[in-house]
Chain A
Amino acid sequence: MGRSIGKIVNPRFMGRKQRKDLLFAVVLLLPTFYILFKTFLFPIYQSLVWSMYKYHMLDGSDVVFVGFGNFIALFKNHDFWTATYFTGYFTVISTVAELVLGLFSALLLNQMFRGRVFFRMIIIIPWAMLTLVNGLLWKWIFQPGNGSFTIILKKIHVLSASENPLWLADAHNIINSVVVADVWKMTPFMTLLLLAGLQAIPSSLYEAAMMDGAGFWKKLWYVTIPQLFPILMIAVVLRTIAAFRVYDILTVFTGDPTTSISYLTFNKAFRYFYLGEASAMAWVSTAIILVFIVLYIRLLKKNSHEV
């Protein structure tokens, strides 16, 4: 029975029973499809329609069709560009830092040593933590004066005794602080992905490299990284997509919405209820993320061909 359901067969070449089966399958799928449509597809379409309107839901003003007016206003909006800049900055810095740290901790965890299983287990803890909880934790660490971040930096003489920076006051500092908190939380994700990739590299390659007299760095450069490259790219694209949407941790750190596009969009949508402008903004950031998603799918396809 299940034979014909898995793949779509041209109905003209189906037997009667097969056609009945297909119909039955469609009937079974319809409720799920309807719910998915109503809760997932339709809102996407609706937001596209809304992005063409001036729609201030809570101030009693009239709904007006403005065409691409919201998009034009958006590109002229200083806050939008500030938010885009910070989002880009955050995405690049945090992804690169996580990649480098993640690669080295993956290499470390790939070695044989006592307690390897234990370390492989505990490294997941930051990643498993709720972003909001992580934010509250770091907000505490980032207190000026007696916060542990300041104290540690003073102990290792990065800061002089008289300095007392405000980690969470000025937008630039906030973004750097968020990078630190995010790197702490998301490096394990990188590590796990890369560790899986490392284990797939055949040891014969390393043996051959060693025969040729390669040291640690040479092995890393000529064997590990090229072999790891496909998964490295996937990890980077996945992190980029996620980092681009940074939002929740910022709400804990600051009330400044220009620190990320998602934060700005959220404020427009669910604090001021300017739903038209918010929809337009959401579509612009979706378009940017879409570029990365296409890249991601391409990489996945390329990988599966190679295997």
Chain B
Amino acid sequence: MKRGKVLFLIFLVFILLTGCNAAPPTSGEKGEAKDEKLSWNNKKDLKGEEITLLWVNTDGENGPRGKILKEFTKDTGIKVKEIAVDYNSLYNKITTAVLSNSADIDLAEMDTIWAGQFMEGNIAYDLADSVPKDVQKKYTQSSLSSVMYKDHLVAVPFFSSTKHFYWNKELLAKAGYNAPPKTWEEFREMSKKLTKNGVYGSAWSWKQAEGLNCDFVSLVYGFGGKFFDENGTPVFNKGGGLKALQFMVDLTQKDKTVDPASMQWSEDDVKNAFATGKIAMMTNWEGMYPDLNDPSKSKVINKTDVGLMPGNGDVESAAVTGSEGISLMKDSKHKQAALQFLKWMSTKNFQLPMFEEDGMYPTLEGLYDDPDLKAADKTKTVDKIMKQFQYGQNRPNAPGYVEWADILSAEIHEALLGKKSPEDALNTAAKSIEKAIEEAK
């Protein structure tokens, strides 16, 4: 018993020694360190400095992303230490570093929906004054807007992305169609004809996760609705939003033209199913080619095509955006060298090879007319992909979005499984999200 008392005493002493800072920091203590002035057109010699970059790279240092880093070092003399992760680990890697007050990471890949958290949570350095206005104008509107939060530039655009519409030409031809659907109503009718002999009209990434929200957003705008209004209030439970979910439920419950496995699939699963030739149509991100034409991964070589997402009524097309940026970490000790990387990233030296070897779409407007890019486009898909970018629709990037998105995907999933009516599900989601917004104030 005595030993217990001694230990308890030691514990108490330690708590007293360190205990004062066990309470969470209040806003005043959060450390508004004075930011050094960074210059885009740096003249200082930065040779020999080393920066650490955290990004998605599953191909190793000899893959396309690894190779490009060596090019950067050759051009500028700045060394890059790469922390390569897969997309699903990215967010946790960044936030763990932030929680532990680590300054190890200088640059980190940022998905568009994290922008609010990165800014309000003091993770990223605001680049609004560091990237000159005329440089900002060179990015495509959609890629720039996806890295902005309020007036802050949370990251430099890294690649452009939206969802696209893919179809299997052979299956469509067999059912008597020589063109993809232009409207979602056409899509529904075609799906009915296409679903037979083990083939499904379409497959989707409708596992209860962000992929489900992405498809929902595309459809909400496709049916002329809105996701959130200008004040940041959810309005997806009215008009086009409700029509969109009703449409999704009709496809799965009434028509049964959607591969039922869609309820537990993410984007990659859908791509794999599409590659087996049993799925006639799908929506997915870029980067489907060259894999869909690779004999070791696909049974639909040269049988597929990509084009605009269908619309409805006045809406010609609409697709959710998934563009990303690279953020400069607020705690970085090598900000100037890291900014040099962001500058170099915004040139053809970076964007062209990334397109050619990694299938990533440039963020520089001017590059899309570049003859070199056209020459690098072996599948002749650039123009089709580019066209969709004009119909891109952003998800909100307020700090609470990650939570709202979880609420929404849970409710939509319930409706798709037939446990709730679409109206009920969306109203519940809107109410819960409004409550979450209120509580976060």
A17 to B328, CA, bound (A): 59
User: What distance in Å separates the Cβ of A129 from its nearest Cβ neighbour in chain B?
Assistant: 20
**Docked CA distance A8–B264 (Å):** 59
Tell me whether chain A's interface is mostly helix, strand or loop, or mixed. loop
Interface hit among B157-165, B185-193, B387-395, B403-411? B403-411
Whether B3 lies near A8 (C-beta < 8 A) is yes
List residues 242-262 of chain A with CB under 8 A from any CB of chain B: 254-258
B419 CB contacts on chain A under 8 angstroms: 170
Q: Is A153 positioned at the interface, with any CB of B under 8 Å from its CB?
A: no
- The reply to whether A57 and B121 form a contact with Cβ atoms under 8 Å apart is yes
A61 touches which of B99, B117, B441 (Cβ 8 Å):
B441
Tell me how many residues of B have a C-beta within 8 Å of chain A.
46
Q: Please indicate the chain A residues that have their CB under 8 angstroms from the CB of B91 in the complex.
A: 271
- Among A98-106, A161-169, A205-213, A230-238, the one that faces the other chain is A161-169
Cβ B26 vs Cβ A267 within 8 A: no
Q: Which of A142, A168, A267, A276 gathers the greatest number of chain B CB atoms within 10 Å?
A: A168
Residues of B within 8 A of A258 (CB): 410
Among the listed A50, A254, A272, which residue makes an inter-chain contact with B24, where contact means beta carbons less than 8 Å apart? A50
| Contact status A41-B11, CB under 8 Å | yes
- Contact partner, B22, options A46, A57, A62, A271, Cβ 8 Å: A46
Complex CA–CA separation, A50 to B23 (angstroms): 6
Is the beta-carbon distance between A37 and B14 smaller than 8 angstroms? yes
Beta-carbon contact of A56 and B22 below 8 Å:
no
By a CB distance below 8 angstroms, the chain B residues around A58 are 95, 117, 120-121, 123, 399
B376 surroundings in chain A (CB, below 8 A) = none
Given the complex, which residues of B lie within 8 Å of A197, measured CB to CB? none
Q: In the complex, what residues of A have CB within 8 A of residue B441's CB?
A: 61
Cβ of A60 under 8 Å from chain B: yes
The answer to whether the Cβ of A275 comes within 8 Å of any Cβ in the partner chain is yes
Query: With the chains together, A146 CA to B263 CA distance in Å?
Result: 15
Q: Is A42 engaged at the interface, CB distance under 8 Å to the other chain?
A: yes
Within 8 Å CB of A60, what residues of B? 27, 120-121, 399
Of chain A, the residue at the smallest CB distance from B95 is A270
A72 to B400, CA, bound (A): 22
Q: Could you tell me the distance between the alpha carbons of A283 and B19 in the complex, rounded to whole angstroms?
A: 19
- Considering only residues 292-327 of chain B, those with a C-beta below 8 Å from chain A are none
Q: Is the CB of B2 within 8 A of A63?
A: no
Q: Which residues of A contact B123 (CB under 8 A)?
A: 58
Closest B residue to A177 using CB positions: B264
A183-B403 Cα distance, complex, nearest whole Å: 32
What is the chain B residue whose CB lies nearest that of A46? B22
**A273 adjacent to chain B (CB < 8 Å):** yes
**Residues from chain A with Cβ under 8 Å of B260 in the complex:** 144-145, 164, 166
Q: Is the CB of B402 within 8 A of A63?
A: no
List residues of chain B with CB within 8 A of the CB of A167: 264
- B31-63 CB mask vs A (1 if < 8 Å, else 0) is 000000000000000000000000000000000
What CA separation (Å) do A58 and B330 show in the bound complex?
Answer: 14
The yes or no answer to A25 lying at the interface (CB within 8 A) is: no
Asked if A224 is an interface residue, CB under 8 A from chain B, the answer is: no
Q: Which residues of B contact A267 (CB under 8 A)?
A: 406
Partner of A42, one of B14, B207, B210: B14
Give complex CA distance A46, B25 in Å.
Answer: 12
Q: Is B92 in the interface zone, CB < 8 Å from A?
A: yes
**Chain B 82-109 interface 0/1 with A at a Cβ cutoff of 8 Å (1 = within):** 0000000001100110010000000000
- A59 at the B interface (CB under 8 A): yes
Q: How far is the CB of A55 from chain B (nearest CB, A)?
A: 4
Does B116 interact with chain A (Cβ within 8 Å)? yes
Within 8 A of B (CB), among A8-66: 8, 33, 37-38, 41-42, 45-46, 49-50, 53, 55-63
Closest A residue to B400 by beta carbon equals A59
Task: Determine chain B's interface SS by DSSP, over half rule.
Answer: helix
Contact check, B26 vs A62: say whether CB atoms are below 8 A apart: yes
Question: Which residues of B are found within 8 Å of A168, using beta-carbon distances?
Answer: 207, 264
Whether the Cβ atoms of A273 and B264 lie closer than 8 Å is: no
Cβ contact within 8 Å between A59 and B22: no
Asked if A176 is at the interface (CB within 8 A of a chain B CB), the reply is: no
Report the minimum CB–CB distance from B95 to chain A (whole Å): 6
A131 within 8 A of B: no
The reply to whether A170 and B417 form a contact with Cβ atoms under 8 Å apart is yes
Interface flag for A143 (CB, 8 Å):
yes
Contact across chains for A255 and B264 when beta carbons are under 8 A apart: no
Question: In this assembly, does B208 line the interface, its C-beta being within 8 Å of a C-beta of chain A?
Answer: yes
Asked if B9 is an interface residue, CB under 8 A from chain A, the answer is no
List chain A residues, Cβ under 8 A from B95.
58, 270, 273
Q: How far is the CA of A62 from the CA of B27 in the complex (A)?
A: 6
Residues on the B chain within 8 Å of A270, using CB: 92, 95-96
A254, A255, A256, A270, most chain B CB atoms within 10 A: A255
- Give the docked Cα–Cα distance between A257 and B15 (Å): 34
Q: Which of A52-85 contact B (CB under 8 A)?
A: 53, 55-63
Q: B403: which A residues are within 8 A, CB to CB?
A: 271-272, 274
A37 to B410, CA, bound (A): 40
Closest to B23 in A: A49
Q: How far is the CB of B22 from chain A (nearest CB, A)?
A: 4
Q: Is the CB of B261 within 8 A of A145?
A: yes
CB distance from A164 to the nearest CB of B (A): 6
Contact of A255 among B22, B120, B208, B400 (CB under 8 A): B208
Smallest Cβ-Cβ distance to B441: which chain A residue: A61
User: Does B209 interact with chain A (Cβ within 8 Å)?
Assistant: yes
Chain B contacts of A271 at CB under 8 A?
A: 91, 402-403, 406
Report A122-168 residues with CB < 8 Å from chain B CB.
142-145, 164, 166-168
B positions within 8 Å CB-CB of A: 2-3, 6, 10-11, 14-15, 18-19, 22-27, 91-92, 95-96, 99, 116-117, 120-121, 123, 207-210, 259-261, 263-264, 399-400, 402-403, 406, 409-410, 413, 417, 419, 440-441
Please list the 6 inter-chain residue pairs (A to B) with the smallest Cβ-Cβ separation, ordered nearest first.
Answer: A58-B121, A60-B120, A255-B209, A59-B399, A169-B263, A168-B264
Query: Mind listing 23 A-B residue pairs with CB under 8 Å?
Result: A8-B2, A41-B11, A42-B18, A42-B22, A45-B15, A49-B22, A49-B24, A50-B24, A53-B23, A58-B95, A58-B399, A59-B121, A59-B440, A62-B26, A143-B264, A144-B261, A145-B261, A164-B260, A255-B207, A255-B409, A257-B406, A258-B410, A272-B402
Q: Which residues of A contact B (CB under 8 A)?
A: 8, 33, 37-38, 41-42, 45-46, 49-50, 53, 55-63, 142-145, 164, 166-170, 254-258, 267, 270-276
